Amino acid sequence: MSSPKPDLVNSISDRLTSNPKLLARADPAPPCTLVIFGAGGDLTKRLLMPSLYNMTIAGLFPDEFCVVGIDAVEGSDESFRAKQAETMQSFVTRKGGKSHPDNFNETAWDWLRDRLHYQQGDFGSDETFNKLKERLDQLHSETQYSNCVFYLAVADRFFGLIIDRLATAGLLHEEDGAFRRIIVEKPFGHDLVSAKELNARILKVANESQVFRIDHFLGKETVQNIMALRFSNGIFEPLWNRDHIDHVQITAAETVGVETRGKFYEVTGALRDMVPNHMFQLLTMVAMEPPNSFDADSVRSEKAKVVAAIHKLTVDTALVDAVRGQYTAGKVDNLDVPGYRTEPDIDSNSRTETFVAMKFAIENWRWAGVPFYIRTGKRMAVRDTQISIHFKQPPFALFRDTPVERLTHNVMTIHVQPEEGVDLQFSAKVPGPLVHLGAVHMDFRYSDYFGADNSTGYETLLYDVLIGDSTLFQRADNVEAGWAAVQPLLDAWARHRGDVQTYKAGSMGPVSADELLARDGRLWKKLV
Ligand code: BG6
């Protein structure tokens, strides 16, 4: 392999110094081969390759880094490189508003491109793994290291199969200080039983420290910022409890429909797709106790405690506190879009939910009596993922003799996407002789301080795997606790209990989702 070209090093350092306020520099990761199972798939094209490219620009790889892609379709190193090159530009420049082709760093891409290799192989055949072993031995004999990360960017039915075969081929065996790590994508199982089975199967052949269960929400800067916001500032934490907080709302609204993923989505639905994983990551970041340190196990243990403290639902109570919905035809972003039941690969009588809203109670000292409301759905009016903390109202007494009719809650909103930032809503006196109050906002936007974000969210996570930091990954017990919390609802719905409400594409979900809050005297925060 060649050394990085001098102009690549220059362009990396130009880029780093062009915005001196940001980018805490990290050291390059240790030498490693990244093996991607599912190299021909969408995840590789849309997210993994662009992340590797961004990491190359940020100088996070040593010269010995390389990638071996594996998939069933025929191909060679050259055809794999050419295929990735075709789509690379459109995916790496889509974020941060910098979509001009001039921003594409050819030098960085060439550096990465030369390090891409391909092997055709069936995930179920031993031959694939024996061939892979030979290839890795050959690569490693040239470079004097044998660290490997195996990324399972494949459908979940292949997870156990691939890991078993990796083990049989001796590819998970760590010796002479070399590491062998596995990244497992979501969905990690489809319910509690299957998640437990998968964990048991994996942990039979690998140690927990080798397994990185990825949830890409944890790669989002704003999600990681929740810990910084809470624990590096003295002003928030004293208020972060049931004495001061009335309730918390967590929304992940999407405008996209099921797109080409009908086969997967029809048997998955919004609850499995989003709640025990992404939504619970947001919930635990907001609700966890301060960990003893940022050490992986301290953080993950605190998160596990929050999920374990979620009030245990039964099949009956789950139905009271949850609403499911399915979109019908409507208009999104001024375009007519079809209803869910007429999307490709969807049953015309489908009862799969594309929207779910739920209320959770966390039964611990900090949160007793503070409801957490979550909602997530496809084809909603707006794309917006955010967490809003609604503080308790102050006593009205002082304003009794003024024209002010009611006081509003202070609301702190953590914007996860597409905006990234935090804002605080509070009341201020409207200028004039009478006491009138108006809601005003204090706003922090990431882009104002730290420049536009050109990352996919996977960069931090991939880097963490390479340096062996599992703080932002799910431990076996975290995944199981997430499934356990929603299992009663899955059971109720599997018994066809609880209606599937409809909502028009381009709306904010079914009316019953509003009723879920209205019966507690509350409203969802307006997003549009
Ligand atoms: C994925 C889900 O895990 O997350 C998708 O399978 C969903 O259905 C996506 O659209 C949302 O992620 P993001 O980063 O686009 O908000």
pLDDT in tens, 119-151: 999 999 999 999 999 999 998 887 778 999 999
Nearest to 299 by CA among 285, 280, 279: 285
Answer for the pair 80, 39: CB distance below 8 angstroms, yes or no. Answer: yes
6 CB contacts (<8 Å, ≥6 apart)? none
Mean pLDDT of 392-401: 87
Q: How confident is the model at residue 435 (pLDDT cuts 50, 70, 90)?
A: confident
pLDDT for 453? 64
Estimate to the nearest angstrom the gap between the alpha carbon of 382 and the chain centroid: 18
Same domain, 173 and 267: no
Could you check whether the bond before residue 418 is cis, i.e. omega within 30 degrees of 0? yes
pLDDT for 24? 57
- Say if residue 97's pLDDT is above 90: no
pLDDT for 12? 39
Residue located nearest, by CA, to atom 14 of ligand 1:
217
Last residue of a domain, one of 185, 207, 236: 185
CATH code at position 104: 3.40.50.720
pLDDT in tens, 466-490: 999 999 999 999 999 999 999 999 9
pLDDT for 141? 85
pLDDT for 370? 98
Last residue of a domain, one of 134, 168, 185: 185
pLDDT for 99? 47
Q: How confident is the model at residue 102 (pLDDT cuts 50, 70, 90)?
A: low
Mean pLDDT of 244-253: 98
Same domain, 279 and 359: yes
The ligand 1 atom nearest the CA atom of 186: 3
Mean pLDDT of 417-439: 91
Q: Long-range contacts of range 395-399, CB-CB < 8 Å, 24 or more positions apart?
A: 399/435
Place of tokens 């599997």: 494
pLDDT for 145? 85
Question: 215 C-alpha to center of ligand 1: Å?
Answer: 10
Question: 43 C-alpha to center of ligand 1: Å?
Answer: 11
- Say if residue 9's pLDDT is above 90: no
> Is residue 290 domain-resident?
yes
Instruction: Give me the catalytic one of 117, 216, 247, 278.
Output: 278
Question: 379 C-alpha to center of ligand 1: Å?
Answer: 13
Nearest to 230 by CA among 362, 412, 390, 361: 412
Same domain, 173 and 239: no
Domain count, the chain: 2
What angle, 0 to 180 degrees and rounded to 10, lies between the N-to-C axes of helices 296-308 and 476-494? 20
Estimate to the nearest angstrom the gap between the alpha carbon of 512 and the chain centroid: 27
Mean pLDDT of 400-416: 90
Question: 275 C-alpha to center of ligand 1: Å?
Answer: 11
pLDDT in tens, 149-176: 999 999 999 999 999 999 999 999 998 8
Question: 466 C-alpha to center of ligand 1: Å?
Answer: 24
Q: How confident is the model at residue 316 (pLDDT cuts 50, 70, 90)?
A: confident
Partner residues linked to 149 by β-bridges: 34, 181
- Say if residue 14's pLDDT is above 60: no
The ligand 1 atom nearest the CA atom of 217: 14
Residue type for position 389: I
What is the CB < 6 Å shell around ligand 1? 186, 216, 254, 273, 385, 417
Ligand 1 pocket, mutate which of 186, 255, 274, 354 (most atoms under 8 A from CB): 274
Same domain, 247 and 131: no
The ligand 1 atom nearest the CA atom of 258: 8
- Say if residue 15's pLDDT is above 90: no
Same domain, 18 and 104: yes
The ligand 1 atom nearest the CA atom of 216: 14
What does the CA dihedral 291, 295, 300, 302 come to, rounded to 10 degrees?
A: -10
CATH code at position 240: 3.30.360.10
pLDDT for 400? 84
Rg (CA), the chain: 24
- Supply the DSSP string of 225-265, one letter for each residue: HHHHHHHS-TTTGGGSSTTTEEEEEEEEE-----TT-HHHH
> Is residue 35 domain-resident?
yes
Question: 47 C-alpha to center of ligand 1: Å?
Answer: 12
Same domain, 280 and 368: yes
Last residue of a domain, one of 130, 162, 185: 185
Q: Which region among 42-46, 206-210, 379-383, 518-522 has the lowest average model confidence (pLDDT)? A: 42-46
Mean model confidence pLDDT for the chain: 90
- Is residue 247 part of the annotated active site? The answer reads no
Question: 256 C-alpha to center of ligand 1: Å?
Answer: 10
- Say if residue 454's pLDDT is above 70: no
Answer for the pair 182, 150: CB distance below 8 angstroms, yes or no. Answer: yes
Same domain, 265 and 175: no
Estimate to the nearest angstrom the gap between the alpha carbon of 156 and the chain centroid: 17
Mean pLDDT of 404-426: 92
> Is residue 250 domain-resident?
yes
Phi, psi for residue 325 in degrees, rounded to 5? -140, 165
Domain that includes residue 136, residue range: 5-185
Same domain, 110 and 236: no
- Say if residue 209's pLDDT is above 70: yes
pLDDT for 88? 83
Answer for the pair 327, 340: CB distance below 8 angstroms, yes or no. Answer: yes
HEC string for 318-351: HHHCEEEEEEECEEECCEEECCHHHCCCCCCCCC
Mean pLDDT of 417-443: 92
Residue located nearest, by CA, to atom 5 of ligand 1:
273
The ligand 1 atom nearest the CA atom of 277: 3
> Is residue 446 domain-resident?
no
- Cβ atoms within 10 Å, residue 79: 12
> Is residue 525 domain-resident?
no
> Is residue 34 domain-resident?
yes
> Is residue 429 domain-resident?
no
Mean pLDDT of 415-441: 92
Same domain, 499 and 363: yes
> Is residue 240 domain-resident?
yes
Q: Report H helices in 312-445.
A: 315-320
- Say if residue 274's pLDDT is above 70: yes
Mean pLDDT of 280-294: 96
Same domain, 164 and 258: no
- Say if residue 49's pLDDT is above 50: yes
Q: Which region among 350-354, 362-366, 450-454, 491-495 has the lowest average model confidence (pLDDT)? A: 450-454
Residue located nearest, by CA, to atom 4 of ligand 1:
274
39 CB contacts (<8 Å, ≥6 apart)? 69, 70, 71, 80, 118, 153
Ligand 1 pocket, mutate which of 186, 213, 217, 223 (most atoms under 8 A from CB): 217
Residue located nearest, by CA, to atom 10 of ligand 1:
254
SS3 (DSSP) at 150: strand
Share above pLDDT 70 across residues of the chain, in percent, rounded to a whole number: 93
Same domain, 155 and 226: no
Same domain, 130 and 52: yes
With 0-12 CB in 10 A as exposed, 13-18 as middle and 19+ as buried, what is 11? middle
